[in-house]
């Protein structure tokens, strides 16, 4: 048996804007991959994600990318013999809002697998909050969220 979770959020922006904020590396690094993203989330691409506040880099293997609909990818896991499988879906909610749902699955039904899934579930929920804050208000919620800086 494997463990799967879903998280979602509504963003008050058109679906094409929300999709672009995840697909485009220049936008993604503004609120999520603060150490950079090497390329667009294009099907067949291997993209490197880095985080200024978390050890990386992470290799993201994009399996599917359908404009304004979904991005599906695999990425590494700390759990032995497991690769994370992530599906991000974008659903227009009228002309000016989008529901974004992230599903990650395949976690082993073990104490270690469940513990790691909880951490990733928290991370994806925070990513969605960061996406919303960036697109709706121009605020980077990730800055200072995972590391206290002596600068502030």
Token reading at 65 = 């990318």
Write down the pLDDT at residue 32: 93
Cβ within 8 Å of residue 3, ≥6 positions away: 105, 107, 108, 109, 113, 114, 117
Q: What is the pTM of this model?
A: 0.91
Domain ranges of the chain: 2-23+66-137
Average pLDDT over residues 43-66: 91
Residue 119 has pLDDT above 70, yes or no: yes
Q: Which CATH architecture has domain 2-23+66-137?
A: 2-Layer Sandwich (3.30)
Average pLDDT over residues 83-112: 92
At residue 36, φ and ψ (nearest 5 deg) are 120, 160
Average pLDDT over residues 102-118: 88
Q: How confident is the model at residue 108 (pLDDT cuts 50, 70, 90)?
A: confident
Pick 143 or 48 by higher pLDDT: 48
Average pLDDT over residues 13-33: 97
Q: What percent of the chain has a predicted confidence (pLDDT) above 70?
A: 91
């Amino acid at each position: 048996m494997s463990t799967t979770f879903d998280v979602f959020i509504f963003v008050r922006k058109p679906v094409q804007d929300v999709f672009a904020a995840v697909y485009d590396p220049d936008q993604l690094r503004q609120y999520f991959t603060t150490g950079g993203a090497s390329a667009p989330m294009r099907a067949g691409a291997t993209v490197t994600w880095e985080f200024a506040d978390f050890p990386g880099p992470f290799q993201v293997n994009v399996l599917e990318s359908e404009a304004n609909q979904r991005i599906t990818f695999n990425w590494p896991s700390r759990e032995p013999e497991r690769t994370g499988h992530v599906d991000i879906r974008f659903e227009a909610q009228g002309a000016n809002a989008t529901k974004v749902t992230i599903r990650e699955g395949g976690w082993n039904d073990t104490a270690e697998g469940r513990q790691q899934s909880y951490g990733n579930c928290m991370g994806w929920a925070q990513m969605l909050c960061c996406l919303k804050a960036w697109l709706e208000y121009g605020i980077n919620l990730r800055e200072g969220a995972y590391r206290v800086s002596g600068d502030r």
